[in-house]
Amino acid sequence: MKKVAILISGSGSNMVTLAQSMTGDHPARACVVLSNRPDAGGLAKAAALGIPTVVVDHKDYKGDRAAFDAAVMKALAPYDPDVVALAGFMRILTPEFIAHFAGKMLNIHPSLLPKYKGLHTHQRAIDAGDEAAGCSVHEVTAELDGGPILAQGRVAVLAGDTADALAARVLPLEHKLYPETLRRFVSGDRTRIDV
């Protein structure tokens, strides 16, 4: 049985759908949920699902990214994850952390990569007059939001869309795409899926 660590910073809706997908004949289970924020809403949701939770508060490391990342690696070590799934984890990881989990780390990003790496992705798509937006599941490499894309989901940008409205339309697609992609990934299948 493969073990999946899920890293969050906020509400953890993607974490919940990932954790809930890993049941029955699924080859993996969520082994731990880690947050860099002690007030992340997802921590209570993980606990309610019976998943061990850990907090490594980035404020305790005062901008020392390497020290924070080392603390996260140390906190994850006892759970010995085969896969690390970033799910709304709003931290830029050091090359050392990425190397430590090379080939084992996924992220979901709310844009049709390679467009709109970084933040405010939906507003940028609206401002650019794009007809489509969406989300991408990709392997995490040293290039921010730049790793091999494993899945993409598209939605139409509608006239009058606000960033919030577009985000609300993309989120359910994230909740569908990420679990499906994680299941393929843990089974060694890196075939790209576009929906």
Q: Which residues bind ligand GRF (CB under 6 A)?
A: 8, 10-14, 42, 87-88, 108, 110, 135, 171, 174
Least Å from the CB of residue 86 to ligand GRF: 7
8 or 126, CB closer to ligand GRF? Answer: 8
User: Which residue's CB is nearer to ligand GRF, number 57 or number 164?
Assistant: 164
CA distances from 24 to 27, 32, 148 (A): 8, 18, 29
- Distance (Å, rounded) from C-alpha 148 to C-alpha 139? 5
Q: Which of 58, 100, 109, 175 is catalytic?
A: 109
The CB-of-7 to ligand GRF minimum distance in angstroms stands at 10
Which of 161/174 has CB closer to ligand GRF? 174
Beta strands 149-156 and 132-139: pairing type? antiparallel
109 is a catalytic site residue: yes
Least distance in angstroms from the C-beta of 60 to ligand GRF: 21
Nearest to 33 by CA among 18, 52, 50: 52
- Active site residue ranges: 109
